[in-house]
Amino acid sequence: MSDKETLKQNAALAALKFIEPDMIIGVGTGSTVNYFIDALAKKDYRIKAAVASSLATKKKLIQAGIEVMEVNSIDRIPIYIDGADEATEHLSLIKGGGGALTGEKIVAHIADKFICMIDEAKLVPVLGTFPLPIEVLPIARSLVAREMMKLGGNPMYREGFVSDYGNQIIDVYNLEILDPHALEAQINQIPGVVTNGLFAHRGADHLLIAKSSGVEQLNK
Ligand code: 5RP
């Protein structure tokens, strides 16, 4: 396993301390989350069920023998556990590198606490080096791309990718996101945008940063 993968796994293992018996937990998407699900399956944490943020996570949870509940059947969950593509020390995030941003935002929204797991390379002073994913209705792809160019971004269509909900993704390069709250709201106003990968309004509550020296925790 590469050093980076070891750090992701360490962050995932550190998230296990938030798990309590009989909890219904929200589970994000991605390779860090996959380490978390593997660890959850290995030990008997006796969680009640999980709410999945994507079809891929749902499949992995079922394979691990964990009961999966649909978001529509539940109003609140105590915790949501997920990775991110970039994070600031203010606990704002870019997510959606794996294309599951909409499901992730929905499950994060119904959680009391969002625990985010990253390796140290993803901690940045300013968001935007990682291209910002935007899920769009196919009919609006060019319109959204043009609007993002007006904001100084360089939009690229994620070719060949279709989201769990049949939509497309635009990855926007070249943004220096100094006010993630404002930009998140502004992009969501563009017609045809399903959601964007900024998690500032519902950022993380706890950020677990895996470093070679150990896992550091930042709290909101
Ligand atoms: C998927 C996500 C992931 O959390 C993000 O891409 C991080 O993935 P990984 O843990 O594989 O580095 O937002 O939509």
The values of phi and psi at residue 118, to 5°, are -140, 160
Alpha helices in the chain (DSSP H): 3-15, 31-42, 55-63, 101-109, 141-150, 180-188
- 97 alpha carbon to ligand 1 midpoint, in Å? 5
Distance CA(146)–CA(149), nearest Å, equals: 5
Give the residue from 43, 36, 208 showing the smallest Cα distance to 52: 36
| 60 and 34 Cβ atoms separated by less than 8 Å | yes
Determine which residue's CA is closest to atom 10 belonging to ligand 1.
32
Residue 148's pLDDT is: 98
| 15 and 47 Cβ atoms separated by less than 8 Å | no
The values of phi and psi at residue 166, to 5°, are 80, 15
Q: Which H/E stretch holds residue 165?
A: none
| 73 and 52 Cβ atoms separated by less than 8 Å | no
Cβ neighbourhood burial of 23 (10 Å; 0-12, 13-18, 19+): middle
Say if residue 43's pLDDT is above 80.
Answer: no
Amino acid at 21: P
Q: Which H/E stretch holds residue 45?
A: none
The catalytic residues are 104
Residue 143's pLDDT is: 98
Give the whole-number percent of the chain exceeding pLDDT 70: 100
Average pLDDT over every residue of 190-202 = 98
The values of phi and psi at residue 205, to 5°, are -95, -35
Residue 157, both tokens:
């269509």
Please, which pLDDT band fits residue 22 given cuts at 50, 70 and 90? very high
Distance CA(93)–CA(9), nearest Å, equals: 19
Conformational region of residue 29, where left means phi above 0, alpha means psi within -120 to 50, and beta covers everything else: beta
State the closest ligand 1 atom to the C-alpha of 122, by its place in the atom list counted from 1: 12
Say if residue 168's pLDDT is above 80.
Answer: yes
Please, which pLDDT band fits residue 191 given cuts at 50, 70 and 90? very high
- pTM of the complete model: 0.96
Q: Which residues line ligand 1 (CB under 6 A)?
A: 28-32, 82-85, 95-101, 104
| 133 and 97 Cβ atoms separated by less than 8 Å | yes
Say if residue 1's pLDDT is above 90.
Answer: no
- 151 alpha carbon to ligand 1 midpoint, in Å? 25
Determine which residue's CA is closest to atom 6 belonging to ligand 1.
97
- 104 alpha carbon to ligand 1 midpoint, in Å? 10
pLDDT tens profile 61-115: 999 999 999 999 999 999 999 999 999 999 999 999 999 999 999 999 999 999 9
Residue 40, both tokens:
């959850």
Say if residue 44's pLDDT is above 80.
Answer: no
- 30 alpha carbon to ligand 1 midpoint, in Å? 4
Query: Within its chain, how far is the Cα of 37 from the centroid?
Result: 15
State the closest ligand 1 atom to the C-alpha of 82, by its place in the atom list counted from 1: 4
